């Protein structure tokens, strides 16, 4: 019964989207239209119906209703409750339903709270949102119905990919979806602003919180995904330049650039066409990312998500949305007037530098990700690995950090470099001092880790400079947000550089009672025991790690899942203030001699990578709260509100 | 100054990428990876003996006209223990096998050989994985078929299972 209700709600929601689209079209054709007043209510009803539909599916997973095909093939009666819930979106149909639900809810939110742009642009924005949603509704209703029944119902259910039976799953895909959908809202705003010729500060202010929100989620999603790969895959690395990781990084790069350029548009009414362009690219990148993950045209660790047929559907949607948007761009952007002028050395100039560097990194990552595909078309099989990406992105990222030392200090419109000479000398001294110190004491860590550490230290200081001379209590929250996000970047880069420069690794086979050494740690395999979980069995190593007279116990596992059958390794991590000890144990072969393969890493300051990522997202959150709070306090005092 | 064509550039990029993606979806997928080193001569190397009582290995040793197997192994590698019976079977069937021990200690190699038998003619020690990388091998165990003139004919990645034994013997036979 619940399944049928959910499906019916989905059909009704699609009808609401169609209504919005029709209303938007009549509006653009010049008619006042009887449909126009219906756009906003339709958006709100659509959001409510989708939420109902999603919770209906979640309910079916909670009670493990095995007469529903999706539940039967992705869940199991013995699965822990949290993974039953996560199972709702841990599969293709459910994740598409989640996507369209978030999309519709944001449409409803725009309809309910957005007051800053004119009514026409708002209505067209909702129509564009509805147009995007219709593609996904068609996908769900015609080819991936999540509520399909299965007769006869099986007794147990098939289970969920064991790699995904991890608490991280409960957050990772939904987080990315919030990010992607936020970018779709920015996309809709941009298309609508072009169509109604309202590209200006008011539009930028309306779009900014969505970009900011999307960017916070993408930052968290990437940070969490990186940490998941780090402890679940058991390879000891935190970023593999895997196509799927790149697919999440590219929208983030575009969104980061957009976040900065939209500020220029909102504050200074400059960079109009460029901001529109970035809004379109950011959403195109998130669609391309989804496509690359789902289609399987690139081989990656996320192979569980692959299905070529669905891939082609997403590809078709992506091509329709982005080509239409870029056709509108080509036809309309010429009519967007030149924005306010500014000098090279100014806040705007700094943000342009940020945008250029980010765009170059984006292009480099895109080319590297797609290159194997091109090579295959020419009959050559290659994979582009970390050496390419590290060598190409690291120098640009370092340049970006250099620009970031000065950029936030600059004044809008024009500035004088002499005003900042003491700071510049100070930063240069930090870089030189730490560079020389590293050169002397750790000459063999490589040039990028060395520069990364030096620049990170300088940035850790420079990030706080914008607060200088301000009364802290009267400083706007977005400034604090910026400072914290930039400081978080410094923290993260410090972790990355330290991890890649100073990690120590030992691979050994130990019998219980034997010891190994890694980077000042005396590590003893005390015992190996079998352990049993809900739907897996494992061998668990008891590893005693000693350093400086203190000892700690680590318990890495090698798990054997039975439904479906699969082995995973659960790394054990020991976090100290100055780094992590990372231990992995492997199942022995049957012909073994009682020794176990143990892999140990000492990774100095590795946790700074994710700590920094969280700080960056926190900065974004503070800025977002600041914008929302300020808006609530004094809504009409916008100098540009009717530009 | 008319630069309106520039405005169509993003659309052209989208169309190009779209076409590329469609090609990627439609084109037949072949995930089999062929080793880049197959068909090439062995790199130059001269490795010391991996333990007492065995001879070291140089690329010259493998150029004496007899096709051989070259087994990359290590005493700390568990699949290498699993493939020991298959190596033994290959030796009994007449195959000559040379080996390179990776990142190993002489006493560990000796213990490994005494426990699992020694099917090898020569064993070189590659303590820094330098030769392993030059051979295009990324892990242990791997087994190469080397022609009598020192050319790499085939690369088998992973442990040798029972079903691989006839295949490797056939490769050796056709190399004669």
Give me A134's structure tokens. 């219709």
Q: Which residues pair with A516 in a beta bridge?
A: A523
Q: What is the mean pLDDT of residues A425-433?
A: 94
Q: For residue B61, what is the DSSP state? A: G
Question: Is the Cβ pair B11, A330 closer than 8 Å?
Answer: yes
Lowest mean pLDDT among A307-311, A457-461, A587-591: A587-591
Tell me what pLDDT residue A638 has.
43
Pairwise CA distance, residues B42 & B134, whole Å: 9
Q: What is the percent of chain A where pLDDT is above 70? A: 89
Give me A457's structure tokens. 């230290």
Q: Is B15 on the interface with A (CB under 8 A)?
A: yes
Query: CB-based contacts of B92: which residues, under 8 Å, 6+ apart?
Result: none
Tell me what pLDDT residue A265 has.
92
Question: Is the Cβ pair B18, A319 closer than 8 Å?
Answer: yes
Confidence of residue A297 (pLDDT cuts 50, 70, 90): low
Supply the mean pLDDT for chain A.
85
pLDDT digits (tens, 9 = 90+) for A218-271: 999 899 888 888 877 666 778 888 887 888 899 999 999 999 999 999 988 888
Interface test with A, best of B2, B5, B21 (most A CBs within 10 A): B21
Residues from chain A contacting residue B14 (CB–CB below 8 Å): 284, 319, 322-323, 326
Question: Is the Cβ pair B81, A591 closer than 8 Å?
Answer: yes
DSSP secondary structure, A566-583, as one string: EEEEE-EEEEETTEEEEE
Question: Is the Cβ pair A295, B25 closer than 8 Å?
Answer: yes
A38, A44, A50, A52: CA torsion to nearest 10: -120
Question: Is the Cβ pair A326, B14 closer than 8 Å?
Answer: yes
How many residues are present in chain B? 176
Tell me what pLDDT residue A337 has.
75
Residues from chain B contacting residue A525 (CB–CB below 8 Å): none
Closest Cα in chain B to A586:
B78
B20, A192, A184, A242: CA torsion to nearest 10: 30
Sign of CA dihedral A251, A492, A570, A85: negative
Pairwise CA distance, residues A170 & A164, whole Å: 9
DSSP helix/strand/coil, A523: strand
Q: For residue B117, what is the DSSP state? A: -
Closest Cα in chain B to A326:
B11
Question: Is the Cβ pair A312, B25 closer than 8 Å?
Answer: yes
Q: For residue A344, what is the DSSP state? A: S
Instruction: Work out the minimum CA distance from A283 to partner chain B, whole angstroms.
Output: 12
Are A284 and A212 within 8 A, CB to CB?
no
Q: What is the mean pLDDT of residues A172-190?
A: 89
Q: Comparing A587 with A4, which gets the higher pLDDT?
A: A4
Tell me what pLDDT residue A237 has.
79
Question: Is the Cβ pair B21, A315 closer than 8 Å?
Answer: yes
Closest Cα in chain A to B112:
A593
Are A600 and A518 within 8 A, CB to CB?
yes
Question: Is the Cβ pair A281, B4 closer than 8 Å?
Answer: no
Q: What is the mean pLDDT of residues A480-489?
A: 95
Query: CB-based contacts of A107: which residues, under 8 Å, 6+ apart?
Result: A20, A43, A46, A47, A126, A129, A130, A133
pLDDT digits (tens, 9 = 90+) for A44-97: 999 999 999 999 999 998 888 888 888 887 777 777 787 788 888 877 788 889
pLDDT digits (tens, 9 = 90+) for A392-414: 999 999 999 999 999 898 888 88
DSSP secondary structure, A303-336, as one string: GGG--HHHHHHHHHHHHHHHHHHHHHHHHHGGGS
- Nearest in space to A604 (alpha carbons), one of A491, A523, A503, A490: A503
Q: In A365-381, which positions are buried (b, 16+ CB within 10 angstroms) versus exposed (e)?
A: bbebbbebbeebeeeee
Q: Comparing A155 with A451, which gets the higher pLDDT?
A: A451
Is it the case that residue A30 has pLDDT exceeding 80?
no
A504, with CB counted inside 10 A (0-12, 13-18, 19+), is middle
Blockwise average pLDDT, block size 10, chain B, 176 residues: 73 87 70 69 90 89 89 84 89 91 87 90 86 80 90 85 88 86
Residues from chain B contacting residue A288 (CB–CB below 8 Å): 17
pLDDT digits (tens, 9 = 90+) for A101-155: 999 999 999 999 888 888 889 999 999 999 999 999 998 898 888 898 887 777 7
Q: Comparing A44 with A30, which gets the higher pLDDT?
A: A44
For chains A and B, what is the number of CB pairs under 8 angstroms?
80
Confidence of residue A159 (pLDDT cuts 50, 70, 90): low
Query: CB-based contacts of A434: which residues, under 8 Å, 6+ apart?
Result: A453, A454, A457, A458
CB atoms within 10 A of CB A113: 11
Closest Cα in chain A to B82:
A591
Confidence of residue A379 (pLDDT cuts 50, 70, 90): low
Q: Comparing A418 with B33, which gets the higher pLDDT?
A: A418
Query: CB-based contacts of A237: which residues, under 8 Å, 6+ apart?
Result: A229, A230
Pairwise CA distance, residues A363 & A375, whole Å: 17
Residues from chain B contacting residue A291 (CB–CB below 8 Å): 21
Give the ipTM of the model, two decimals please: 0.75
Q: What is the mean pLDDT of residues A441-454?
A: 89
Pairwise CA distance, residues A176 & A433, whole Å: 40
Pairwise CA distance, residues A338 & A265, whole Å: 12
pLDDT digits (tens, 9 = 90+) for A604-640: 999 999 999 999 999 999 999 988 876 555 544 444 4
Tell me what pLDDT residue A351 has.
92
Candidates A299, A326, A509; nearest CB to B31? A299
Are A251 and A365 within 8 A, CB to CB?
no
Q: Is B1 on the interface with A (CB under 8 A)?
A: no
Question: Is the Cβ pair A597, B78 closer than 8 Å?
Answer: yes
DSSP secondary structure, A88-153, as one string: TTSSHHHHHHHHHHHHHHHHHHHHHH--SS-HHHHHHHHHHHHHHHHHHHHIIIII--TT-B-SSP
Residues from chain A contacting residue B4 (CB–CB below 8 Å): 330, 334
- Measured CA distances, A391 to A353, A362, A364, A398 (Å): 20, 14, 11, 11
Closest Cα in chain B to A381:
B33
In the block, tokens 């000891």 appear at A236
Q: Is B28 on the interface with A (CB under 8 A)?
A: no
In the block, tokens 């919005």 appear at A20
Residues of A with CB under 8 A from a CB of B: 277, 280-281, 284, 288, 291, 295, 297, 299, 308, 311-312, 315, 318-319, 322-323, 326-327, 329-330, 333-334, 370, 373-374, 376-377, 381, 507-509, 586, 588-593, 597
Candidates A280, A330, A507; nearest CB to B8? A330
Question: Is the Cβ pair A315, B25 closer than 8 Å?
Answer: yes
Tell me what pLDDT residue A33 has.
67
Closest Cα in chain B to A594:
B78
Q: Which residues pair with A614 in a beta bridge?
A: none
Q: What is the pTM of this model?
A: 0.80
- Measured CA distances, A306 to A293, A294, A298, A385, B22 (Å): 7, 5, 10, 21, 16
Pairwise CA distance, residues A70 & A80, whole Å: 17
Give the containing element (helix H, strand E) for A559: strand A557-562
Q: What is the mean pLDDT of residues A512-523?
A: 88
Pairwise CA distance, residues A78 & A222, whole Å: 31
Is it the case that residue A431 has pLDDT exceeding 90?
yes
Residues from chain B contacting residue A591 (CB–CB below 8 Å): 81-82, 84
Give me A580's structure tokens. 């992590």
């Amino acid at each position: 019964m619940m399944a049928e209700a959910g499906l019916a709600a989905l059909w009704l929601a699609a009808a609401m989207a169609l209504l919005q689209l029709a209303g938007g079209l009549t509006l653009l054709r010049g008619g006042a239209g009887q449909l126009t007043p219906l756009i906003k209510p339709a958006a709100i009803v659509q959001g409510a119906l989708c939420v109902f539909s999603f919770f209906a599916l979640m309910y079916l997973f909670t009670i493990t209703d095995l007469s529903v095909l999706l539940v039967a093939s992705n869940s199991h009666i013995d699965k822990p409750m949290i993974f039953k819930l996560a199972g709702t979106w841990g599969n293709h149909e459910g994740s598409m339903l989640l996507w369209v639900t978030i999309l519709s809810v944001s449409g409803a939110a725009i309809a309910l709270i957005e007051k800053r742009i004119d009514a026409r642009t708002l209505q067209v924005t909702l129509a564009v949102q509805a147009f995007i949603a219709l593609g996904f509704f068609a996908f769900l209703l015609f080819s991936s119905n999540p509520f399909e029944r299965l007769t006869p119902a099986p007794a147990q259910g098939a289970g969920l990919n064991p790699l995904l039976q991890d608490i991280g799953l409960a957050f990772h895909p939904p987080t990315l979806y919030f990010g992607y959908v936020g970018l779709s809202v920015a996309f809709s705003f941009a298309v609508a602003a072009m169509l109604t010729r309202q590209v200006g500060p008011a539009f930028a202010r309306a779009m900014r919180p969505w970009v900011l929100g999307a960017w916070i989620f993408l930052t968290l999603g990437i940070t969490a995904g990186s940490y998941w790969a780090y402890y679940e895959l058991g390879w000891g690395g935190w970023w593999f330049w895997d196509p799927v990781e790149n697919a999440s990084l590219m929208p983030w790069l575009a969104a980061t650039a957009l976040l900065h350029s939209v500020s220029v548009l909102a504050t200074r009414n400059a960079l109009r066409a460029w901001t529109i362009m970035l809004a379109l690219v950011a959403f195109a990148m998130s669609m391309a990312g989804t496509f690359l993950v789902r289609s399987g045209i690139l081989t990656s660790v996320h192979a569980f998500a692959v299905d070529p047929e669905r891939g082609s559907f997403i590809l078709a949607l992506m091509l329709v949305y982005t080509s239409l948007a870029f056709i509108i761009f080509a036809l309309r952007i010429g009519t967007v007037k030149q924005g306010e002028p500014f000098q090279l050395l100014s806040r705007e100039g700094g943000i342009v530098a940020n945008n250029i560097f980010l765009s170059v990194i984006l292009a480099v990552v895109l080319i590297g990700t797609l290159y194997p595909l091109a090579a295959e078309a020419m009959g050559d099989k290659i994979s582009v690995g970390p050496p390419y990406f590290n060598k190409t992105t690291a120098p640009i990222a370092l340049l970006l950090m250099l620009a970031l030392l000065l950029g936030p200090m600059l004044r809008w419109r024009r500035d004088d470099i002499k005003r900042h000479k003491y700071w510049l000398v100070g930063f240069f001294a930090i870089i030189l001092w730490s560079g020389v110190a590293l050169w002397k004491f750790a000459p063999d860590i490589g040039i990028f880790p060395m520069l990364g550490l030096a620049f990170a230290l300088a940035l850790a200081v420079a990030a706080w400079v914008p607060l200088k001379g301000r009364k802290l209590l009267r400083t706007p929250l977005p400034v604090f947000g910026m400072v914290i996000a930039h400081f978080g970047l410094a923290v993260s880069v410090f972790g990355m550089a330290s991890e890649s420069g100073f990690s120590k690794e030992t691979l050994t086979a130990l019998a219980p009672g034997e010891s190994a050494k890694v980077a000042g740690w005396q590590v003893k395999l005390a015992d190996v025991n079998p352990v049993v979980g809900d739907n897996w069995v494992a061998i668990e190593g008891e590893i005693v790690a000693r350093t400086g007279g203190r000892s700690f116990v680590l318990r890495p596992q090698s798990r054997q899942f039975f439904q479906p059958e699969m082995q995973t390794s659960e790394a054990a991590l020991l976090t100290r203030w100055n780094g992590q000890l990372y231990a992995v144990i492997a199942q022995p072969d049957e012909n073994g001699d009682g020794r176990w393969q143990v892999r140990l890493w000492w990774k100095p300051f590795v946790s700074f990578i994710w700590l920094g990522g969280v700080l960056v997202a926190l900065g974004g959150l503070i800025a977002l709260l600041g914008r929302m709070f300020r808006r609530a306090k004094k809504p009409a005092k916008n100098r540009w509100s009717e530009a | 100054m008319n630069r309106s064509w520039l405005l169509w550039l993003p659309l052209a990029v989208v169309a190009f990428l779209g076409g590329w993606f469609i090609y990627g979806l439609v084109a037949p997928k072949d995930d089999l990876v062929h080793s880049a080193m197959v068909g090439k001569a062995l790199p130059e190397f001269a490795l010391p003996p991996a333990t007492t009582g065995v001879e070291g290995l140089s690329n010259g040793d493998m150029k004496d006209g007899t096709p051989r197997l070259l087994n990359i192994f290590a005493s700390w590698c568990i699949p290498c223990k699993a493939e020991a019976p298959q190596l033994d079977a290959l030796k009994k069937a007449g195959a000559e096998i040379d080996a390179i021990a990776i990142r190993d200690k002489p006493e560990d190699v000796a213990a490994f050989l005494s426990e699992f038998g020694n099917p090898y003619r020569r064993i070189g020690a590659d303590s820094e994985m330098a030769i392993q990388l030059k051979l295009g091998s990324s892990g242990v165990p791997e087994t190469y078929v080397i022609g009598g003139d020192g050319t790499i004919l085939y690369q088998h990645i992973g442990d040798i299972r029972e079903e691989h034994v006839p295949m490797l013997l056939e490769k050796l036979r056709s190399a004669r």
